[in-house]
Amino acid sequence: MTDPRPRLGVGMVGHAFMGNAHSHAWRTAPRFFDLPLAPVMQVVCGRDAARTAEAAQRLGWAESDTDWHRVIERADIDLVDICTPGDTHAEIAIAALAAGKHVLCEKPLANSVAEAEEMTAAAERAASGGVRAMVGFTYRRVPAIALARRLVEQGRIGEVRHVRAQYLQDWIVDPEAPLSWRLDRARAGSGALGDIGAHIIDLTQHITGERITEVAGRLETFVKERPVATEHAGLSGTAGTERGPVTVDDAAVFLARFTGGGLGVFEATRFATGRKNAIRIEINGSAGSLAFDFEDMNVLELFDAGEPAETAGFRRIIVTEPEHPYVGAWWPAGHGLGYEHGFTHQVVDLVAALAEGSQPTPSFADGLQVQRVLAAVETSSDTRSWQEIP
């Protein structure tokens, strides 16, 4: 049966961890949500022909290719989904936008402010012709996070005074864990700061509706040298006998001030032994507080300072009701969602914006702002000084 909806041909570059997650989202979104466009998983691109062909068959792509230039030149590709390491984001995104293709680019937007500025300028030029670009901060689409933003917008916690944000992992605590591209500054741009710190920077600004205006921070690399990983190793990989330098940070901590005058405390580390993917955010306002922990991702805690002291306390909201953001398309109340659903919701929001001809969020300009915060934290660590965000 022919689909009456306009076609959206998708080409994805990269098929590892993020490519798997994005593929699941493109497959799933049209099956649970009533999308205004019909996504077609046309081609996936990778460096190795055999591995990319296998990924195409396994992940649901119609074709495979080894040259992203050919992908963006194809007439049947309307959108390019970039799931590659950060050192390739700028070149692919700028070329795709110039070719008239919409772009979804994984975070952080780039490896430097200069690259992010070029990408943002390219996105602004493309937007004048109706071509859109979005950066993939998928945690925005966790229903509990979306509900937190809604409650702040409604004034439920009043004026934001304190923001506390942590992103805690432990996957390289072992000093013999091998090197991977994520530990190479030339490919990744930075370490824990850019890889996971970018998420909590974006999330806190998204939830509060405010921007970070200045920072003071420190970066640390605890293990300076590691075994070199074998080819095609993933997050953990397998090690050889050769050793090489770690050129990024293992951990980042910084203080921040927000546009409304509130103070922030941030921590991003891959050395929080025992923590696998703990994203913890607490926002204290003049009229209440919100708290979220990704290790219990279907729950949002709300404190209402207007309640009588006798019964006041944090209320545990199970964010699985059909009235909650995104949840109505899924399971009955109480049946929780998982990590992968954020990527599906990202596709839903992106496709809806493209159909409307509106700018999807977060935009490349939003990604640039996060990149400027990352750069300011690095400069602050180097100079031992507060840094304003341009």
Residue linked to tokens 């998983």? 41
Instruction: Say which residue, 333 or 236, is predicted with more confidence.
Output: 333
CA distances from 313 to 103, 162, 305, 308 (A): 44, 18, 8, 9
Mean pLDDT of the chain: 96
pLDDT at position 27, please? 98
How far is the C-alpha of 269 from the C-alpha of 252, rounded, in Å?
6
pLDDT for residue 237 is more than 60: no
Taking 3-state DSSP, the helix, strand and coil percentages for the chain, each rounded to the nearest 5, stand at 35, 25, 35
CB 233 within 8 A of CB 178: yes
Domains of the chain in start order, with CATH, are 7-136 (3.40.50.720), 141-337 (3.30.360.10)
Which amino acid is residue 258, in one-letter code?
Answer: F
* pTM for this predicted structure: 0.95
CA angle (201 as vertex; 199, 204 as ends), nearest 5? 105
The pLDDT tens digits for 34-85 are: 999 999 999 999 999 999 999 999 999 999 999 999 999 999 999 999 999 9
pLDDT at position 283, please? 98
CB 104 within 8 A of CB 82: yes
How far is the C-alpha of 111 from the C-alpha of 194, rounded, in Å?
8
pLDDT band at 238 (very low <50, low <70, confident <90, very high): low
pLDDT band at 90 (very low <50, low <70, confident <90, very high): very high
**DSSP 3-state of 48:** coil
